[in-house]
Chains A and B, each alone.
Chain A
């Protein structure tokens, strides 16, 4: 048993559902108790999704527990197949129902007899892996399923496209700024003359998966999702992959140069040096920002970084290498990936922190007393308590990570966004000096505004304490309206009765 106040990565079934529902026309059936289906809420609310989330819960209740669930699950699969004609139905249990140790594969096999679409059981251990690992595994499982199916039917397309092409692997629903990153990556590939053969899983049809081998290489921007698939495609078809996240000016250049090498090895003759040069100097404002006078005061400022491996490693490098900020420690909650993370941030920070205990992270922040934090929503919260600004750079996702405007983290536009994030997180330039000289913006306590200074209204004890129970942001309005009401009616004392009468009369 573990005392947990916060989770950096969700449970396994969330990863599976993120992948399954990212595909077009794929439905997921959850074998789970009532209330375990909050994935639908997250997707519908955070992504502002216009369609019903293609996830149906086959509800496990006391009755199912007593009588077994076989018929129910099979019925629900065949029902959904008939109702919505999905290409694929993915069945997944949750932490809870996986303990029942039912033979779900058998349910799938039985349902498959009557369904037009394919049926697949997501093969993950719900107690050993988290959301990220389960998503990675499910994507690989689905890709493998359709590659093998195509191979059996003899319609696997392995012939390379005539022009250099790429599969972008790992863009999914409920990912951290995934949609905007995807747009940016597509633009980047198009600028480089590389055709996008497929983007998976977001928006892809499972029927397209048999064409994956046509790409010249695979790009895996986030190592948390897609690496297993890329490795599978490499071992099956020898397709090389690039897993350098193009985040920040330097890493983007490194990613593009690796792509250049891979393409040239396959007989293309490409040279991206001019492109990298132009983008760095003229498209990205980040390189200039780091050299501007405003950024001078960032030199040597202390920051800490925490997040998933991809974002935390990239951010550490950007802060240290591109902005001259002193990263006191960098950390990740992807404990299973600690070796890679340590190698990546080696030399870019004083210390490394690998943990999924938010308390330990909070303590480490308090000890370091940095000028800014770059972390997750949890660190933003810690920052608020310690009065240290925090820029959010990694999942767990939050409604703020689904902005209406264009805010990618990757590619050259991403470098601008990150520069803004850093700029806005620190107090900068003249502001820094003014704060020091004058000791803050507001040196006087704000005086409570009242409607008139010579108020002859008296709040009695109960009413006053009732008033104090009202949330601060509306308290002023309630007070004003109640006093106006009392004055209009000639009350000199405000009692609870007057207060509620005012509420009824004027909605105070």
Chain B
């Protein structure tokens, strides 16, 4: 039930590992959304000019993130070990503390700190004690990880910082909840009490994965409808409010790229992982809720109707893509979930490229993908890990898919060859989780098709050719 044991390998799905030359964003890009999510944080990326210029120009975040994000730019003296890493980092962190006073400094290690073997994990506790500010170390380097996995490294590191005991003594409790009480000011005690009722008795559940606040509220509410109480989210809006994680707590991930966080929570915090498909698309959201319910012995109510209702409301979009094909070049590790949802919408998918495939953490999702293919009676996609972009483009030439979901580097050239594309990165930043946001996924997916529909009467060649009409 609790998936610590690997489920049986889905038959029929075809896995390949091309180990090719492929393009995706650097995992340090997680700074772009995590600094917004964790409002009292400061992210310090310890790397070179190459890292900094990436965040500045390709991601375009630097200019907006400035107050809570910076580069510790490694210079020649750092590389050749003429300077003392500890003293240098101390100087920078003291300045950050003085200028910004964050609740936590997250050190983002890069390829360069890996290569010069800078012992960030060793330095952090010493410095933390000396300057009295928590320092979390995440190695979001491109040697080991791709794009969204950066979030995985940060959350895995933060998992270690969650308090391991719920406050027990009244005094402590009082203090901890002082702010909470303040916020409750003016509400009748029975209101607060009423909020606590309506839940089924079940072991505490903590969800992990960084989602925009409205989506957090939506998913929390969906579970509440089934009587399930979410005890906390990792990450939280504020570092100081990280959820309590005790041994034996149940945890479940909402993003497919968090395998390291999942294993950290299982091994280090002795949590029980609920391995479910991810709450993306009405089918995935339903499966996700059902799985959590089944673990807690709850019979979910109204889910089938709910899913059906969502599908009905999506029909205007679904009819645009039904019977069409989609090809994933592979970028953000959301590929399996998105492909499963789009196949359920009636699309076919010949290939799912993905930078990294954790078959264990994604086993429930893979099983659902396989089941979906069977039910929709479409061929199983080939899942290509670490694809070779050059080879993929040859395959796209052969297959002529109706839509290619790809990284930014390939979009314009593919469009120029008459292939419809959608940037994969948009799915990273859009709100795609839960029942109601399925619409947003389809809004993105259908946009190239709708755009082309708008332009189709013009075409390329008769764009400006006037048909001669008689003038009276």
Q: Which of A44-52, A103-111, A284-292 forms contacts with chain B? A: A44-52
- A51/B75 in contact, CB under 8 A: no
Contact code string B102-122 (vs A, CB < 8 Å = 1, else 0):
000000001110111000000
A contact residues around B22 at 8 Å (CB): 34, 59
B214-246 residues with Cβ-Cβ distance < 8 A to A are: 214, 217-218, 221
Interface contact A128-B416, CB-CB below 8 Å: no
User: Which residues of chain B are within 8 angstroms of A240 by Cβ–Cβ distance?
Assistant: none
A13-B50, A127-B75 known; A56+B390 contact, CB < 8 A? yes
Contact flags B53-82 to A (C-beta < 8 A → 1, else 0) = 110111000110010011111111011000
Interface residues of B in 285-308 (CB under 8 A from A): none
> In the complex, A368→B50 CA distance in Å?
33
Give the chain A neighbours of B146 by CB distance below 8 A: 34-35
Across the interface, do A36 and B50 meet the contact criterion of CB distance under 8 Å?
Answer: yes
The yes or no answer to A503 lying at the interface (CB within 8 A) is yes
Expressed in whole angstroms, the Cα–Cα distance for A12 and B49 within the complex equals 9
Contact indicator B416/A51 (Cβ below 8 Å): yes
Contact of A36 among B21, B26, B52 (CB under 8 A): B26
Q: Is A355 an interface residue (CB 8 A)?
A: no
Query: A11 to B49, Cβ gap below 8 A?
Result: yes
Q: Which of B26-63 contact A (CB under 8 A)?
A: 26-29, 46-50, 52-54, 56-58, 62-63
Closest chain A CB from B273 CB (angstroms): 25
Task: State whether the Cβ of B9 lies closer than 8 Å to any Cβ in chain A.
Answer: no
A59 B28 Cβ-Cβ under 8 A: no
CB proximity to B under 8 Å, residues A330-347: none
The CA-CA distance from A41 to B141 in the complex, in Å, is 19
User: Interface readout for A51-82 with B: 1 if CB under 8 Å, 0 if not?
Assistant: 11100111111100100000000001000000
| A500/B58 contact (C-beta < 8 A), A3-B71, A38-B26, A52-B393 known | no
Is B201 engaged at the interface, CB distance under 8 Å to the other chain? no
With both chains docked as a complex, state the minimum distance between the C-beta of B407 and any C-beta of chain A, in angstroms. 7
B36 to chain A, nearest CB (A): 12
In the bound complex, what is the Cα–Cα distance between A99 and B117 (angstroms)? 12
Given A7-B49, A52-B393, A469-B214: A500 and B436 within 8 A (CB)?
yes
> Is B56 in contact with A7, judged by CB distance below 8 angstroms?
yes
Q: Is the pair A49, B115 in contact by a Cβ cutoff of 8 Å?
A: no
Contacts of A50 in B (CB 8 A): 412-413, 416
Q: B21 touches which one: A51, A53, A59 (CB < 8 A)?
A: A59
Query: Does residue A438 face the partner (Cβ distance < 8 Å to B)?
Result: no
Contact B144 A62 (CB under 8 A): yes
Interchain nearest-CB distance for B57 vs A (Å)? 6
Stretch from B85-93, B123-131, B364-372, B459-467 at the A interface: B85-93
Tell me whether B142 is interfacial, beta carbon within 8 Å. yes
Smallest beta-carbon distance A84→chain B, Å: 9
Are B63 and A378 touching (Cβ within 8 A)?
A: yes
Q: Count the A residues whose beta carbon is within 8 Å of the partner chain — how many?
A: 63
The CA-CA distance from A497 to B49 in the complex, in Å, is 47
Which single residue of chain B is at the shortest CB-CB distance from A131?
A: B53
**What are the residues of chain B within 8 A of A76 when measuring CB–CB?**
21
Contacts of A56 in B (CB 8 A): 21, 390
Residues on A with beta carbons closer than 8 Å to the beta carbon of B70: 3-5
Indicate if B435 sits at the interface (CB-CB under 8 A): yes
**Chain B contacts for A10, CB-based, 8 A:** 49, 53, 57
Could you tell me if B221 and A96 are in contact, using CB atoms closer than 8 angstroms?
no
Tell whether A470 is near chain B: CB-to-CB under 8 Å. yes
A42 within 8 A of B: yes
**A3-B92, A41-B409, A505-B313 known; A96 vs B50 contact (CB < 8 Å):** yes
Residue in chain A with minimal CB distance to B443: A507
- Whether B92 contacts A1 by the Cβ 8 Å rule is yes
Contact mask for chain A residues 1-35; partner B; CB cutoff 8 A; 1 contact, 0 none: 11111110011111000000000000000000111
Q: Which of A127-151 contact B (CB under 8 A)?
A: 127-128, 130
> Do A99 and B116 touch (CB < 8 A)?
yes
> Which of B48, B57, B71, B141 is A396 in contact with, Cβ under 8 Å?
B57
- Whether, in the assembled complex, B23 has its beta carbon less than 8 Å from a beta carbon of chain A, the answer is yes
Of chain B, the residue at the smallest CB distance from A381 is B63
Q: Is the CB of A65 within 8 A of B213?
A: no
B449 within 8 A of A: no
B260 at the interface (CB under 8 A from A): no
In this assembly, does A205 line the interface, its C-beta being within 8 Å of a C-beta of chain B?
no
CB of A95 within 8 Å of the partner chain: yes
The interface residues of chain B lying within 8 Å CB-to-CB of A4 are: 52, 70-73
Residues of B within 8 A of A37 (CB): 23, 409
Residues in B whose Cβ lies below 8 Å from that of A255: none
Complex interface residues of chain B between 412 and 432 (CB less than 8 A to chain A): 412-413, 416
In the assembled complex, the CB of B433 is this many whole angstroms from the nearest CB of chain A, namely 13
Q: B309 in the interface, Cβ–Cβ < 8 Å? A: yes
Known pairs A33-B111, A65-B143; A504 contacts B214 (CB<8 A): no
Chain A CB count within 10 A is highest, among B28, B72, B73, B412, for: B412
A95 touching B58 by the CB < 8 A rule? Answer: no
Minimal beta-carbon separation of A22 from chain B (angstroms): 17
- How far does the alpha carbon of A56 sit from the alpha carbon of B146 in the complex, in Å? 17
User: Considering the chains assembled together, what is the distance between the CA atoms of A12 and B91 in angstroms?
Assistant: 27
Give min CB distance, B39 to chain A, whole Å: 12
Q: Give Cα A59 to B386, complex, Å.
A: 11
B62/A6 in contact, CB under 8 A: yes
Q: Is A229 an interface residue (CB 8 A)?
A: no
Please, which residues of chain A bring their CB within 8 A of the CB of B58? Answer: 38, 41-42
A1 in contact with B83 given A36-B50, A36-B142 (CB within 8 Å): yes
Set of chain A residues within 8 Å of B313, measured between Cβ atoms? 504-505
- A1, A36, A60: which contacts B78 (Cβ < 8 A)? A1
Q: Which residues of B contact A48 (CB under 8 A)?
A: 412
How many Å lie between the Cα of A186 and that of B437 in the bound state?
Answer: 53
Residue in contact with B63 in the complex, picked from A6, A11, A12, A65, CB distance below 8 Å: A6
* Min CB–CB distance A396 → chain B (angstroms): 7
- Answer yes or no: A283 CB below 8 A from chain B CBs: no
Q: Report the Cα distance A130→B53, complex, angstroms.
A: 11
Q: Is A83's beta carbon under 8 Å from chain B? A: yes
Shortest distance in angstroms between B218's beta carbon and chain A's nearest beta carbon? 6
CA distance A470 to B412 in the complex (A): 31
Central interface residue in A10, A13, A504, by most chain B CB within 10 Å: A504
* Separation of A241 and B430 alpha carbons in the complex (Å): 52
**Residue A120 at the B interface, CB < 8 A?**
no
Would you call B439 and A507 a contact (CB within 8 A)? yes
For B13, list chain A residues within 8 Å (CB): none
Residue B95 at the A interface, CB < 8 A?
yes
Tell me how far the C-beta of B105 lies from the nearest C-beta in chain A, rounded to whole angstroms: 12
Task: Check A496–B221 contact: CB distance below 8 A.
Answer: yes
Residue of B whose beta carbon sits closest to that of A130: B49
Bound CA–CA A38/B54 (angstroms): 7
Hey, what's the 0/1 contact readout for A222-235 against B, CB within 8 Å counting as 1? 00000000000000
Q: Which of B83, B112, B142, B435 contacts A504 (CB 8 A)?
A: B435
Beta-carbon contact of A466 and B54 below 8 Å: no
A377 interface residue per 8 A CB criterion: yes
Whether A466 and B217, one on each chain, are in contact in the complex, defined by CB atoms closer than 8 angstroms, is yes
Judge if A279 is at the interface, Cβ distance under 8 Å.
Answer: no
Besides A95-B49, A127-B79, 10 more A-B contacts (Cβ < 8 Å) are A12-B49, A36-B54, A37-B23, A37-B409, A45-B412, A51-B416, A57-B23, A96-B110, A99-B115, A128-B76
Interface residues of B (CB under 8 A from A): 21-29, 46-50, 52-54, 56-58, 62-63, 66, 69-76, 78-79, 83, 88-89, 91-92, 95-96, 110-112, 114-116, 141-147, 213-214, 217-218, 221, 309-310, 313, 355, 390, 393, 407-413, 416, 435-436, 439
Can you pick out 29 interface pairs between chain A and chain B where the beta carbons lie within 8 Å of each other?
Answer: A1-B91, A3-B70, A3-B92, A4-B71, A4-B73, A11-B53, A33-B26, A34-B355, A35-B25, A36-B111, A38-B26, A38-B54, A38-B57, A41-B408, A44-B412, A45-B411, A52-B413, A53-B413, A58-B21, A96-B47, A96-B110, A96-B111, A99-B116, A127-B79, A378-B63, A381-B63, A470-B214, A500-B436, A505-B313
